[in-house]
Amino acid sequence: MNIAMIASECAPVSKVGGLADVVYGLSRELEIRGNDVEIILPKYDCMRYDHIWGLHVAYQDLWVPWGGGTIHCSVWFGFVHGRKCFFIESHSPDNFFNRDHYYGFPDDAMRFAFFSKAALEFLLKADKHPDVIHCHDWQTGLVPVLLYEMYKFQDMHHPRVCYTIHNFRYQGITGTDVLSATQLNRPEYYHHHERLKDNVHPSALNFMKGGIVYSNFVTTVSPKHAWEVRHSEQGHGLSDTLHIHQDKFGGILNGLDYEVWNPEIDPHIPNHYAIANLDEKYGNKEALRDRLLLRKDYKPIIAYVGRLDVQKGVHLIRHGLFYSLQNGAQFVLLGSSPEASINEEFLHLKQEFNDNEDCHMEIGFDEELAHLIYAGADMIIMPSMYEPCGLAQLIALRYGTVPIVRAVGGLADTIFDRDFSEKPLTARNGYVFQEADYAGLESAMHRAIGLWHAYPEQFRKLVLQGMQYNYSWHRSGQHYSRIYEHIRTQ
């Protein structure tokens, strides 16, 4: 099957969040399965060009109809770790993609509306006829709209679109001027509750809603989150739209890149290990303690690695730190926040615990240290307020580190409580709590720390059961292939 992936990010060349990992990981898996996948991305100035091989102009003059005229673009081609990627460079005076960073500009909606249109114009002019177009998040929500309302009448006769939503919080809510820019025009038609009219702000358009309405199939990144966005405020105003379109909506769990995250060959950890030689893991615990100047004591290390964002339950992360230190455990934190006040709060805490040999906090982003923490820690905490899928718990399982998580989104779909799950005893892999409060978190941490101290053999068994799980891209790839097959033959 020929698949065109249209997205605003792809790891590792242009990565802001999990979206980038999915675009790369899923494309790779689909190729392993025999599909031909081409990824279309904006050509940003701030990309990691050192991860692109053989970059060259593949299509010199692409003229994209825009507003009252056309915008001149060039399309570049290069391999990103084996993936075939096209990069759209616009020569518009608006300078859409050369802005030093990816998002956060007042004209973001216009920038990505342009990208969506340019991507389709490229497919048309380059005479590419993908069986399925797969687009992602609000940035490409207009792709199916433009395809069905415009490009279908220009030689793209059998449009088929799968649309994946990674984050419902950002929807591309904007004014109707984008209709004249894209040449969709007809505000009375598009600014209608059955199409793009935002469900909350009556004068606005919503790209993500357009993506949902016009696509043949819509997914989000875990089955539980697919339920949450329809039945709770996590849908951020789109629950009704999802209800209307529920027959073409579902949740598919993201996979983890098992090549990058593999304790048997991980170049960032000193001791390699697997299920058969789990004891080697503890050499990494020593190495982590050496690196972070932690006391070598008979205690478990509990860690948090991730963004310090309200979504992640910062108040509970902070509480987890105190609770660990008061209850016979050490605590390691690696994280940072775009919000200055949260960073300051944690920098303040770091100072407070500067001389404490049971605690280390690193405020910043450090890929290499993250690997060592996953390998060296005994447990991680993820007390998220919401979590569409979550990767850290999947990494932890792979590295024999027991996840302690709140039962939301992808966390609820992947982690099964050792004491209370409905899963068979041998299929349980962590600790889970329900309520987003101190008592909830404590109940789970208490049981985890207690098991580690009192029943080390049982704890080891739990570690091994977690390592036996396989959350690679294999299964997700299978699910997406079925969806593509389904919509192609509709």
Which residues of this chain interact with ligand ADP, rule CB under 6 A? 17-18, 305-307, 334-336, 365-367, 370, 390-392, 395
Q: Which tokens sit at 268? A: 């960032």
Distance from C-alpha of 464 to C-alpha of 486, rounded to nearest angstrom:
37
**Minimum distance from residue 137 beta carbon to ligand ADP (Å):** 12
| CA-only gyration radius of the chain, Å | 24
Nearer to ligand ADP (CB atom), residue 17 or residue 223: 17
Distance from C-alpha of 97 to C-alpha of 456, rounded to nearest angstrom:
53
340-360 burial, b if ≥16 CB within 10 A, otherwise e? eebbebbeebeeebeeeebbb
Nearer to ligand ADP (CB atom), residue 8 or residue 174: 8
**Surface-to-core class of residue 82, CB atoms within 10 Å of its CB (0-12 exposed, 13-18 middle, 19+ buried):** exposed
**Minimum distance from residue 221 beta carbon to ligand ADP (Å):** 9
**Minimum distance from residue 154 beta carbon to ligand ADP (Å):** 37
Nearer to ligand ADP (CB atom), residue 84 or residue 315: 315
Nearer to ligand ADP (CB atom), residue 80 or residue 370: 370
Distance from C-alpha of 366 to C-alpha of 429, rounded to nearest angstrom:
27
Query: Count of H helices and E strands in the chain?
Result: 17, 17
**Minimum distance from residue 201 beta carbon to ligand ADP (Å):** 25
Residue 402 CB neighbour total at 10 angstroms: 26
Residue 468 CB neighbour total at 10 angstroms: 11
**Minimum distance from residue 127 beta carbon to ligand ADP (Å):** 37
Nearer to ligand ADP (CB atom), residue 64 or residue 391: 391
- Going edge to edge, which strands form the sheet with 379-382? 359-363, 330-335, 301-305, 379-382, 402-406, 431-433
Nearer to ligand ADP (CB atom), residue 285 or residue 371: 371
**Minimum distance from residue 398 beta carbon to ligand ADP (Å):** 11
Nearer to ligand ADP (CB atom), residue 279 or residue 367: 367
Distance from C-alpha of 397 to C-alpha of 389, rounded to nearest angstrom:
14
**Minimum distance from residue 336 beta carbon to ligand ADP (Å):** 5
